[in-house]
Each structure stands twice: as structure tokens, then as C-alpha cells.
């Protein structure tokens, strides 16, 4: 449902019914002299008077059959501003006709519902009937919801007559675009290219389909507007054209261009200009200091040029729709599809941002899928002669090979945990890899359009240990939890003991003479705390065994809480003597493809699911990491 209809529906539902009160309070109307009745004048389009010569032709839109049907015949000349309608070329779709009843009925059915009455797909129930018409014509009748459509085909399968019911548009919606096309084609069976320009809803009572026709050899062109309510071919008024053109520029500019002032109201001027024998509409949109100028051909209403202000970076990129339009203009291409359907993204080449637009293949002869680049700030079309044609065409395998090359390992040596391909907020497509390589967990992002490595994160031991510190604070008995993290089976691991253990039996108090001197050197508040001491000779082994690091790595390993007592070659840290078992909740474990084991637990501190990764190491396990676990991984 459109936003307009939603608003209408909401206010309809919200409005209270006070009709009873109103009628109670309304007595006899106050006596007044009724004003002379003025019947509203039926609007007569200016083209009816101006184009008197074509009026008779247009009048061939004859309503017959009790006045309830619009009959359309192939002799109806439409609004053809160039007045040079050719007659060459075959009729559309007439080659090798399939004249079976089923085929004709099927073709006819396609012209009614659900396309025909767009707002109501429910109750779609066609009744088809075929009979032989006069002069070897075939008459197909379709009944739908009380409406009757009639199609007349020649013996060559060409549609020559179409009767569409004048629906109650308020209740049933517009005629279909397909019907609008057929109405126009009945006048131009020699058209080679038919382009529907969409439905222009001017108001609830005013809506048009725009249908553009081009001759086979481009020697003529015609633009039609078909009333979406009645199927009549009409020429819109200047005001309607103004609305249509402004809407077009609106779609092109917003929402990305001038994004800093999206909700500002631009000044818009529309002017019909005659210059050097040419006539065109000029639409000037002024938004702040930026002025966009659009030119539309006055006859075809085709966009013919755009002037884009030279924006600075601070103003943001131009709209990608504007870029697409500019490109299509430059290459004299018809959109052929909605601007929203074009594949367009931002790429950075040489430090500059460009819109990379894929122009799809229109047909087999003319155009293959083409990559084009438009400067994202100035709208200039840029050609990169020396650009690798595969630029932007990296597939998954190529991306994977580039990542392996970057990490310096072979594909056999790396275990890929997961990959992802997606678009980031800037519109760039990236591949993301998470893998075990070089004995580490690696996260690598690579730009899909260039193969450029965007980021590389390594989950190394220092990060893991930093994570320990984050989780358990600076006051921790590294000695204790390091020693007690050695388990023959990780499933038996007591996570509380691992991280919070302060088993007094592990407390080592060296009875050495220097202890008093050292103790007295401590700040007073630290003297109240217990301390664990470990001999320097053992420390290297402990760190290596349980953390995979050496003493030399300690400064980078968040072991700042561990103090070296250089005097005696021992290490000390403040012991943690809290035994708080309810701080943890274990959630089981799983074995990864490479043999590593992940233990899952929830910490009361972080309230988040965490995972400890262990790597088998002899009889026990090496603590590889302890990180927050992202469920999306």
C-alpha cells in the first residue's frame, strides 16, 4: 500500500463518526437565496483547440456498446509531435503467429488481470470464450469481475481491436500498462521499440501512462500519454508536464546528493525555452548553493542534459541515480529499466571515489554488459584505459587466493572457518575471511572490486590475555590459573578454578632472607594482600606451556600485574583469594576441524557468551584464546 493510501486509511479510521450529532443539530436550512447554479466547466485541453487538425482523428476513440466501452482501432492517430510516422516494419509480435485458441486466449488474458486492475488481485477468475468474427477474424472475450474485455485478432494473429471496459477507477484502479501499450500500438503497428515510461499519478483523478515509440530505423519517434483511468490517448497540460518533469528530477537527485540538506526545500523553476529553433523545458533546482539544471525535450519529454554543480567533498557525493542518468545521457542509452535496478556501487581508484555502474546488455547485437565509471563528486564520466578489465570482478576463489598469498600460506595450510560476501554502508562489496593460518586466528577483509586488502586482524595471545584481564581484573593470580589450566580433558576444566582460583595450597611462600626487605618495599596497601611467587626459572616454562609466549613477550601480553623481583630472579603477582563459583556458567564445548577445542561459558561480569579456545599440547592443552563469542560467527 502506498504511503498516500496508508495516510488516508489511518485518518479514515481515526476520524470519529459524529453524523448522528450533526443531523440532530441541523434543523431546516437557513433560508437564503440560492445562487445561480454554475455547472463546473469541463476542462478542455488546450491541444484540442490548438491541434484542430488532429481532433477528428482523436475523435476516433469512439465509445460504443451502450457507451460503456472504449473501442480502440488501429487507425487512431495518436499524439505524434514529429508528425513523421513511418509505415515500414512488421507489426510487433506478428512473426510466426500461433493462432490456436489457447494461445490467443492466453495472450488476451495477459492484457487484463491481474495487471489490468492493479489494486485487486483477489478474485482473479477469467472466463475465456472464442468465436469466429467477421472477415476471418478471431474474437476473444474475457470476463472478469463483471467486466468484459474483447480482443479481435486477424488471421495472422495480429491484434487489431481492443475493447476495454471503462472501469470504476476509484474502486478498481487503473488500466494496466500492458493495456496502455496495446492501445498505443494499435495506432503504430510499425513501431520497433516500445518503452513504457511508467505511471504518472498527478492526482486521484488524473493519472497517465507514458508510452514512447520508436520506428525501426529511428526515423521517427512518438510519445503518447494514455489516461490510466479511461484508456484515452491524451496530451497532458503544461501543468501536468511540469509535475511530471519535476518528479523526474526529484527521483534523480535524492536521496544521496545534497544529503546534508535532504529535508531542505529546493527552489524549483520550470521554463519552456525556445532557442535556435529548438524548444525545451529547463528545470532549475536550487538547493543551498548548489544549482542543478535539467533540460527536457519539449516534444518527447526526454531528458537531454544535466548540469551538475562542481561539488566539494564536504557536500557529499552526487546521487547514484544522477550518476546513472548522466551516464545514460552520455552514451545515448535509454534506461530500459528503473534507475533503482542498476548495479551501482562506489569504488575508490587512485584515492578518488567513483560510481561503478554496470550497463546491462540490451540485446545480443548492440551492447554487452559494460562497466562505466562516473566521478562521484563532479558527475564526470571517466574512462580508465589502463584499468584491469577484471577490476571489480574478483570471484570468491580469486579473493581466497589473494588472501592466502597475503598471509603467506598455502590453501592446504589454512583452515577457513567462515567467509562472507556483502556490501558495507559505503556501498562497497567486500569478502571477509576468518581462518586459522600460521597457528593463529586471522580475520581478513578484501575489497571485492579491487582485491585490495582492507583489514587484517590477528587474534594472538596478547589479545587473549588482555581479554583475561578485562574479564577478571588486574588483581588475578596468574600463577594459579595458569598452573590449574592444565587439564587432561577440557570437558573437565573448572572454569571458575581456571580464572578465579586462589587455592591456598598453591600459595608459595619462600622462606628466604630477602623476603622481609622486599615486603617492606611494597606500598602499604599491597602488603595486606597475599602474593604468589614463582621462580624465574619456572616462569619461562609456564608462559610457554600455557600461553605460548616467552618472557620477552610479557610487556606486550598484559602481564603488567606480574612483577619481576630482579633481586632474586623471582616473579610475583598479587594473588586472588576469592572463591566465587557462581560467577560462571559453563555451556559445553565443541571440537573444531583442526582439533582445537572451544569451551563456552557465560561470565557474570560481562553477561556475554565467551569461548576459551584450547589447543592440544602433549598431555594437556594450551590456552589459545579467551574471547567474547559472536553468535553470527
How far does the chain reach from its first CA to its final CA, in angstroms? 37
Q: How far is the CB of 248 from another protein (least distance, A)?
A: 12
Across the strands, what pairs with 223? 212
Which residues lie below 8 Å from residue 174, measured CB to CB, with a gap of 6+?
118, 199, 207, 228, 229
The DSSP 8-state label assigned to residue 504 in this structure reads G
Toward another protein, which CB reaches closer, 19 or 314? 19
Toward another protein, which CB reaches closer, 82 or 259? 259
Toward another protein, which CB reaches closer, 40 or 67? 40
Q: Where are the alpha helices (DSSP H) in 449-552?
A: 461-472, 478-483, 495-500, 515-521, 524-527, 536-547
Toward another protein, which CB reaches closer, 171 or 607? 171
- What 3-state class would DSSP assign to 76? coil
Toward another protein, which CB reaches closer, 22 or 56? 22
Q: How many CB atoms lie under 10 A from the CB of residue 256?
A: 19
Q: How far is the CB of 181 from another protein (least distance, A)?
A: 27
Report how far residue 419's alpha carbon sits from residue 561's, in angstroms, rounded to the nearest whole number. 38
Toward another protein, which CB reaches closer, 18 or 426? 18
Q: How far is the CB of 336 from another protein (least distance, A)?
A: 25
Q: Which residues of 589-602 are buried (b: 16+ CB within 10 A; e: fewer)?
A: beeeeeebbbbbbb
- What 3-state class would DSSP assign to 72? strand
148's grid cell:
468484459
Q: How many CB atoms lie under 10 A from the CB of residue 54?
A: 17
Report how far residue 288's alpha carbon sits from residue 472's, in angstroms, rounded to the nearest whole number. 55
Q: How far is the CB of 298 from another protein (least distance, A)?
A: 18
Toward another protein, which CB reaches closer, 20 or 350? 20
Report how far residue 576's alpha carbon sits from residue 497's, in angstroms, rounded to the nearest whole number. 11
Q: How far is the CB of 320 from another protein (least distance, A)?
A: 17
Report how far residue 430's alpha carbon sits from residue 451's, in angstroms, rounded to the nearest whole number. 9
93's grid cell:
509480435
Q: How many CB atoms lie under 10 A from the CB of residue 614?
A: 22
Which residues lie below 8 Å from residue 200, measured CB to CB, with a gap of 6+?
207, 208, 209, 210, 240, 243, 244, 247
Q: How far is the CB of 256 from another protein (least distance, A)?
A: 13
Q: How far is the CB of 623 from another protein (least distance, A)?
A: 48
Q: Where are the alpha helices (DSSP H) in 362-409?
A: 396-407
Toward another protein, which CB reaches closer, 28 or 275? 28
Q: How far is the CB of 208 from another protein (least distance, A)?
A: 14
Q: How far is the CB of 262 from another protein (least distance, A)?
A: 8
Q: How far is the CB of 37 from another protein (least distance, A)?
A: 7
Q: How far is the CB of 15 from another protein (least distance, A)?
A: 4
Report how far residue 193's alpha carbon sits from residue 213's, in angstroms, rounded to the nearest whole number. 6
Closest Cα partner for 464 from 596, 625, 630?
625
Q: How far is the CB of 117 from another protein (least distance, A)?
A: 16
Q: How far is the CB of 33 from another protein (least distance, A)?
A: 7
Toward another protein, which CB reaches closer, 35 or 56? 35
Q: Rounded to 5 degrees, what angle do the CA atoms 380, 383, 384 make? A: 130
420's grid cell:
562472507
Toward another protein, which CB reaches closer, 208 or 436? 208
Across the strands, what pairs with 584? 603
Report how far residue 531's alpha carbon sits from residue 351's, in angstroms, rounded to the nearest whole number. 55
Toward another protein, which CB reaches closer, 216 or 242? 242
Toward another protein, which CB reaches closer, 242 or 415? 242
Toward another protein, which CB reaches closer, 238 or 418? 238
Question: Which positions lie near another protein, rule CB under 8 A?
Answer: 3-19, 21-23, 25-26, 28-35, 37-41, 170-171, 202-206, 239, 242-243, 246-247, 250, 254-255, 263, 265-270
Report how far residue 168's alpha carbon sits from residue 389's, in angstroms, rounded to the nearest whole number. 55
Q: How far is the CB of 13 from another protein (least distance, A)?
A: 4
Which residues lie below 8 Å from residue 516, measured CB to CB, with a gap of 6+?
none
Residues 251 and 321: beta-carbon distance below 8 Å: yes
Toward another protein, which CB reaches closer, 255 or 422? 255
Report how far residue 184's alpha carbon sits from residue 226's, in angstroms, rounded to the nearest whole number. 8
Q: How far is CA 518 from CA 280, 515, 527, 567, in A?
A: 93, 5, 10, 9
Toward another protein, which CB reaches closer, 26 or 122? 26
Q: How far is the CB of 319 from another protein (least distance, A)?
A: 13
- What 3-state class would DSSP assign to 495? helix
CA 234 centroid distance within chain: 36
Q: How far is the CB of 285 from another protein (least distance, A)?
A: 9
Backbone angles phi, psi at 164, to 5 degrees: -115, 140
Toward another protein, which CB reaches closer, 22 or 96? 22
Amino acid at each position: 500500500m502506498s504511503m498516500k493510501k496508508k495516510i488516508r486509511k489511518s485518518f479514515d479510521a481515526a476520524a470519529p463518526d459524529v453524523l448522528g450529532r450533526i443531523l440532530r443539530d441541523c434543523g431546516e436550512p437557513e433560508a437564503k437565496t440560492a445562487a445561480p447554479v454554475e455547472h463546473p466547466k469541463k476542462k478542455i485541453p488546450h491541444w484540442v483547440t490548438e491541434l484542430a487538425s488532429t481532433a477528428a482523428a482523436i475523435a476516433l476513440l469512439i465509445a460504443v456498446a451502450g457507451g460503456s466501452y472504449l473501442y480502440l482501432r488501429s487507425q487512431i492517430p495518436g499524439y505524434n509531435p514529429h508528425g513523421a510516422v513511418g509505415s515500414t516494419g512488421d507489426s510487433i509480435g506478428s512473426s510466426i503467429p500461433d493462432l490456436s485458441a489457447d494461445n490467443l486466449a492466453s495472450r488476451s488474458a495477459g492484457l487484463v488481470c491481474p495487471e489490468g486492475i492493479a489494486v485487486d488481485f483477489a478474485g482473479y477468475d477469467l472466463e475465456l470464450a472464442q468465436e469466429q468474427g467477421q472477415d476471418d477474424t478471431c474474437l476473444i472475450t474475457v470476463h472478469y469481475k463483471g467486466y468484459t474485455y474483447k480482443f479481435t485478432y486477424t488471421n495472422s494473429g495480429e491484434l487489431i481491436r481492443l475493447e476495454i471496459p471503462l472501469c470504476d477507477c476509484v474502486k478498481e484502479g487503473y488500466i494496466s500498462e500492458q493495456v496502455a501499450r496495446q492501445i498505443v500500438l494499435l495506432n503504430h503497428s510499425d513501431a520497433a521499440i516500445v518503452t513504457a515510461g511508467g505511471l504518472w499519478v498527478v492526482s486521484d483523478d488524473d493519472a497517465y501512462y507514458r508510452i514512447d515509440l520508436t520506428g525501426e530505423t529511428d526515423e521517427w519517434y512518438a510519445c503518447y500519454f494514455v489516461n490510466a483511468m479511461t484508456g484515452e490517448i491524451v496530451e497532458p497540460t503544461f501543468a501536468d508536464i511540469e509535475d511530471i518533469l519535476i518528479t523526474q528530477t526529484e527521483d534523480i537527485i535524492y536521496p544521496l546528493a545534497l544529503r546534508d540538506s535532504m529535508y531542505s526545500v529546493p527552489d524549483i523553476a520550470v521554463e519552456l525555452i525556445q532557442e535556435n529553433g529548438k524548444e525545451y523545458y529547463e528545470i532549475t533546482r536550487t538547493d543551498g548553493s548548489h544549482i542543478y539544471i535539467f533540460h527536457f525535450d519539449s516534444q518527447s519529454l526526454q531528458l537531454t542534459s544535466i548540469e551538475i554543480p562542481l561539488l566539494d567533498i564536504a557536500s557529499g557525493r552526487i546521487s547514484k541515480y544522477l550518476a546513472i542518468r548522466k551516464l545514460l545521457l552520455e552514451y545515448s542509452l535509454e534506461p530500459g529499466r528503473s534507475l533503482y535496478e542498476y548495479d551501482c556501487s562506489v569504488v575508490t581508484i587512485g584515492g578518488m571515489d567513483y560510481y561503478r555502474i554496470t550497463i546491462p546488455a540490451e540485446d545480443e547485437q548492440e551492447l554487452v554488459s559494460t562497466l562505466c565509471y562516473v566521478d562521484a563528486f563532479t558527475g564526470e564520466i571517466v574512462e580508465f584505459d589502463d584499468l584491469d578489465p577484471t577490476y571489480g570482478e574478483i570471484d570468491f576463489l580469486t579473493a581466497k587466493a589473494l588472501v592466502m598469498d597475503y598471509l603467506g600460506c598455502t590453501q592446504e595450510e589454512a583452515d577457513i572457518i567462515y567467509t562472507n560476501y556483502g556490501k558495507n554502508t559505503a556501498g562497497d562489496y567486500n569478502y571477509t575471511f576468518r581462518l586459522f593460518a600460521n597457528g593463529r586466528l586471522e580475520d581478513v577483509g578484501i575489497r571485492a572490486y579491487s582485491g585490495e586488502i582492507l583489514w587484517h586482524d590477528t587474534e594472538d595471545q596478547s589479545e587473549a590475555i588482555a581479554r583475561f584481564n578485562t574479564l577478571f581484573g588486574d588483581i588475578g593470580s596468574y600463577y594459579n590459573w595458569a598452573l590449574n589450566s592444565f587439564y587432561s580433558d577440557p570437558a573437565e576444566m573448572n572454569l571458575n578454578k581456571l580464572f578465579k582460583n586462589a587455592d591456598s595450597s598453591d600459595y608459595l611462600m619462600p622462606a628466604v632472607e630477602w623476603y622481609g626487605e622486599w615486603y617492606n618495599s611494597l606500598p602499604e596497601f599491597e602488603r595486606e594482600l597475599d602474593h604468589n611467587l614463582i621462580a624465574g626459572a619456572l616462569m619461562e616454562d609456564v608462559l610457554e606451556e600455557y600461553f605460548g609466549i616467552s618472557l620477552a613477550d610479557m610487556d606486550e601480553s598484559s602481564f603488567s600485574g606480574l612483577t619481576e623481583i630482579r633481586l632474586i630472579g623471582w616473579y610475583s603477582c598479587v594473588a586472588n583469594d576469592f572463591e566465587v563459583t557462581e560467577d560462571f556458567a559453563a555451556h559445553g564445548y565443541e571440537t573444531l576441524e583442526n582439533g582445537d577445542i572451544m569451551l563456552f561459558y557465560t561470565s557474570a561480569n560481562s553477561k556475554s557468551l565467551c569461548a576459551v579456545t584450547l589447543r592440544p599440547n602433549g598431555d594437556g592443552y594450551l590456552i589459545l584464546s579467551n574471547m567474547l563469542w559472536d553468535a553470527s560467527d
